[in-house]
Amino acid sequence: MAAKPDLKRFPGFFALTLLCLFLLYAPLVIVMIYSFNDSQSITIWGGTSLRWYGDVFWGPEADKFKQAAINSLAIATAAAIAATTIATMSATAMLRAGHFRGKGASFALINLPLMVPEIVTAVATLIFFSAIGFTTGYATILIAHIVFCIPFAYLPIAARMEGVEEVYEQAAQDLYATRWEAFRLILLPLMAPGILSGFLLAFIISLDDFIITNFVKGAGIETLPTAIFGAVKQGIKPNIMAISTLLLGVSILFVTLSYFAGRIGQKTKTPTGETT
Amino acid sequence: MAGLGQKPTAGGRTYAGLGLPLMLPAWVIIGFFLVLPIGIMLVYSFLTKEFRGGVIWEPTLAAYDQFFFDRGLFGDEQPKIEWTYILIFWRSIWQAGLATLMCLLIGFPTAWFIATRPASSRTIWLFLITVPYWVNLLIRTISMKFLIRDNGPLNQWLLDAGLISDPIHIINTNTAVQLGLFYSYLPFMVLPIYAAVERYNFSLSEAAADLYASRWITLRHIILPVVKPGIIAGCILVFVPSLGAFLAPDLLGGAKNFMIGSLIEEQFKGNAGNWPFGAAASMILLSMVLIVLIFYARAQGRAHAKGAS
Amino acid sequence: MAEDQTINPAIEIDRVVKRYGSFTALNDVSLTIADNEFFTLLGPSGCGKTTLLRCIAGFEDISEGAIRLYGDDIANDPPNKRPVNTVFQQYALFPHMNVQRNVMFGLQRLGYSEMDARGRAREVLDLVQLLPFADRLPAQLSGGQQQRVALARALAPNPKVLLLDEPLSALDLKLRQAVRLELQQLQQDTGITFIFVTHDQEEALTMSDRIAVISDGRVQQVGPARDIYEEPNNKFVADFIGETNLIDVAVTGVSNGMAACTLPGGAAFTCPAAQGAHQGHGHLSVRPERVSLTAPEKALITGHVQRLIYLGTDMHIDVALSDGEMVKARVQNSQSAHIPAQGAQVGLDFEEGAARLLID
């Protein structure tokens, strides 16, 4: 048995995986390292310090970035809540409501924001608001974000709902629960990890967006990406690297949370089987 | 066994009859703020431009005419084919295509490797692959720009190590854009292929080996055809956003390596200020993407039909 | 009680048809299940037995017909309006609630106060001896314990009818045999009508007051276990329940439930006939253990021994008739038993009452 060739293994695949991870992480790690550089120049290493973090919070541009960060977080929170609610309702319709007219079209509709290139969505939204005479501002950013966050929230929610066997809701109904009770007391708690993942994903996607925000934001309103982009246009300065590292930290915190949300969910699942 | 799990009806029915009301918010939001805007954008592409943005409500084909034909500076010459924009589109397709190929060459082995790990370590590998995807795209692109600058860390190390005598010029080249696109969308390639490989039945490989196939023959004739849907899905997920990408070409490509995204952006945000032309270019981009997706949907449909028979 | 079904029917299935598109899952099914009866729906997978159960529970709409529960037509009521509870095949215990919460769920939906629901839940948990496990999550229980929680949960609201969808199929063999007895006892103690779905004939034969054998969406035969086994109506039932020989015969006449037929080889034979049997070509069902080996000249049929299979307590003998048809016989292995050698010419004999003419 020991000499049996492993058919799953291909020479070089492991090396390519490491290369893949290296390519993905090298730029991020380097920016992280250079964010601690105690030097005016981004090229020359001048020793370790936190001076650029200080610059981010108390430097000349601190107010601008602070306001942008508040805008980003507020919009991302509101957009993610709205998108998660809509996505949960849609997933229930698609996966639990049997056949209805326009089901195929509904599925295409939910995925439409994923299929339309971001730049096209940005242009269309800008033209739309201009055509109906809507002043661009916080509201336009929020609406645009809700639209493209819906499919991202939908994916993990629908995946989770598919994983929850309908027999639980049937058992609830068999035990005299109304459909609303079956939804609230059984389906919702069982798919909570999916809803949490959907929320986190939508939140990150909203926080991440540059192109659409750049088109529909009003004059003077900045989110973090548009503020950073504006600053980078003048050249990469060390404080940008500090901000980037901070945002990186937020992203990694979120993905870790979402990862553990998924794991917790899996543990409570196991319907039959012995003690886990 | 006719258990409760396998019902003859497709999908659940607990909330039968509530499909439309439950879908209503999605229909309203996406319909009103995406479908309708695309319709209005189509209308705008046939209107007359107003200088410094906006439109005059006079129907014209000027935007499309400007895209495809050159009528001289004053518009009175014999129309010739205008290559500027077609070339920009062609460059976008080429760049997106190369980025997709790079993603596939690295992404397939990675996806395979991860999918063949024991289940416990698989989630960790997958986690590692997905983390960068969660990191702000703008920040990733800036990081890449920082890394590959002429006097950036990459060149410095190579110089210090004595591997090169002059800095390699990568930034503001096509290569930089491809690298940026590759870096932006690599996880999109890995995840669907991973999903396909995870479902792959390894006894097929054993059967092939039993019938004297080497592992590379098995890869070529058994594995690739079976996981092809995942590969195609991955390619589309990388190609489509690459085609309309704005950040990578703008930050890494510089002025000479214009792609569709920058061209469109310039009509609204930059100096060009030609909304109908920007709308027309957007419509052309959208049509190209839809063609790709329709081909994909039809291929999927055929695969399903084959699987069912 | 089985014979008194006309007095107080708990469930009446009246000409029920269930279609999925062009597929007919239930084809004109009529059944009357008596109050306080342990009634089993038995059939192979895909025969429609689970569909019928789901129609009674309310998870499937019926295409035609009526379902009456103590006289009330419930066919259009949603599941939560039917005083009927189900024990699901994989139990469907709510994984995010502990055992007690699971059992309390139905009671609370019915408007029990928290305290009353807890009291009743503990009472039922005590009945299935799971009180010490009230605070555990379902995932922390063994398969057998989960099965009992599912039972307790379904019994707690005191349903008029309890539906059980192959509740033993997820248990291992030893446990299954023990639980059978418990289920039967529970049914007698509670006096609730049980409708039990299974594909396992042994389960059906040992537990049920009456059995309905279902195949292809139709009821093939209804009756107590003994009737189903000893007096099968048609080929499907005879073949599905236990092992049997189906011998081709020519039927010369049928009267008063008795049929005169000609066996292969020409011997005349008279035996009981299933209802609806008619003259012409027919099949005789004879259980292998009722076939005895004798000298060829004294026998009803003759053939030669094709194959001998040693089964420990029994010897299984395949006898090939002259026309190629095969008849199985089962002989107990005892010192006095005469076991013929392979290839030997043998005679086969069976009593009148051991054979039955079937309809196809």
> Is there a contact between A90 and B23 (Cβ–Cβ < 8 Å)?
yes
Q: What is the pLDDT of residue A223?
A: 93
Give residue-wise pLDDT tens across range C25-72: 999 999 999 999 999 999 998 899 999 999 999 998 899 999 999 999
Report the alpha-carbon distance of residue C321 to residue C41 in Å, rounded.
37
Written as tens digits, the pLDDT of chain A (276 aa) is 445 567 788 888 999 999 999 988 988 998 888 888 887 777 777 788 888 888 888 888 888 899 999 999 999 999 999 999 999 999 999 999 988 888 989 999 999 998 899 999 999 999 999 999 888 889 999 999 999 999 999 988 998 898 888 999 999 999 999 999 999 999 999 999 889 988 988 998 899 899 999 999 888 899 999 999 988 888 888 888 899 899 888 888 887 887 777 666 555 444 443 333
Which chains pack against C, by 3+ Cβ pairs within 8 A? A, B
Going by C-alpha positions, the residue among C32, C34, C33, C25 that lies closest to residue C64 is C25
Percent of chain A surpassing pLDDT 70: 93
Tell me what the pLDDT averaged over chain C comes to. Answer: 90
Show me where the domains of chain B are located: 28-308
Out of C23, C49, C92, closest to residue B2 by CB = C49
In this predicted structure, what is the pLDDT of residue A251?
A: 82
Distances (CA, A) of C292 to A148, B147, C229, C320: 79, 92, 19, 15
Inter-chain contact A274–C143, Cβ cutoff 8 Å?
yes
Number of H helices, E strands in chain B: 14, 4
Angle at A225 between CA A222 and CA A227, to 5 degrees: 45
pLDDT tens track, chain B, 309 positions: 333 333 334 457 888 889 999 999 999 999 999 999 999 999 999 998 887 777 888 888 888 888 888 877 777 778 888 888 888 999 999 999 999 999 999 999 999 999 999 888 888 898 888 888 888 889 999 999 888 888 888 888 888 888 888 888 888 888 899 999 998 999 889 999 998 998 888 888 888 888 888 888 888 898 999 898 899 989 998 998 999 899 999 899 877 778 899 899 989 886 668 899 999 999 999 999 999 888 888 877 777 666 544
Identify all chain B residues contacting A241, using CB atoms and an 8 Å cutoff: 146
- What is the spatial distance between Cα C75 and Cα C225, in angstroms, rounded to a whole number? 29
Q: Tell me how crowded residue C123 is: count the other CB atoms within 10 A of its CB.
A: 13
Closest by Cβ to C89, choosing from B4, B8, B9: B4
Domains and CATH numbers, chain C: 9-230 (3.40.50.300), 243-358 (2.40.50.140)
A chain contacts of residue B120, beta-carbon cutoff 8 Å: none
Token code pair at residue A110: 């939910």
> A88 vs chain B: nearest CA distance in angstroms?
9
B240-265 burial, b for 16+ CB within 10 Å, e for fewer? bbbbbbbbbbbbbbeeebbbbbbbbb
Rounded Cα–Cα distance for residues A31 and B140 (Å): 9
Max CA separation in chain C (angstroms): 79
**Cβ separation of A93 and B22 shorter than 8 Å?**
yes
Rounded to an integer, what distance in angstroms lies between the CA atom of residue A59 and that of residue A51?
10
- The model carries a pTM of 0.83
A18 inside 8 A of chain B by CB: no
Backbone φ, ψ for residue C311 (5° rounding): -120, 25
| Whether the Cβ atoms of residue B263 and residue B90 lie closer than 8 Å to each other | no
Residue C96 has pLDDT above 60, yes or no: yes
Partner residues linked to C330 by β-bridges: C316
Backbone angles phi, psi at A191, to 5 degrees: -105, 10
CA nearest A130: which of C347, B37, B201, B158? B37
Contacts of C175 in chain A (CB under 8 A): none
Q: Which residue of B has its CA nearest to A120?
A: B282
B11 CB-near residues (< 8 Å, 6+ apart) = A94, A95, A96, A98, A99
Which pair of structure tokens corresponds to residue C247? 């011998």
Phi, psi torsion values for C305, nearest 5 degrees: -70, 120
Looking at the domain that runs over B28-308, which CATH code has it been given? 1.10.3720.10
- Distance in angstroms (rounded) separating the CA atoms of residues B309 and C10: 45
Quote the ipTM score. 0.86
Nearest CA in chain B to C87: B4
Q: Which residue, chain included where needed, has tokens 């033209």?
A: A127
- On chain C, the residues whose CB falls within 8 A of the CB of B1 are 45, 89, 166, 169, 199
State whether C78 and A276 contact (CB < 8 Å): no
pLDDT of residue B201: 86
Q: How far apart are CA C219 and CA C197, in angstroms?
A: 13
User: Which residues in chain B are contacts of C45 at CB distance < 8 A?
Assistant: 1-2
Mean pLDDT, chain B, whole residue set: 85
Q: A7 contacts in B (CB within 8 Å)?
A: 202, 205-206, 209, 215, 218
- Tell me: pLDDT of C1 over 60: no
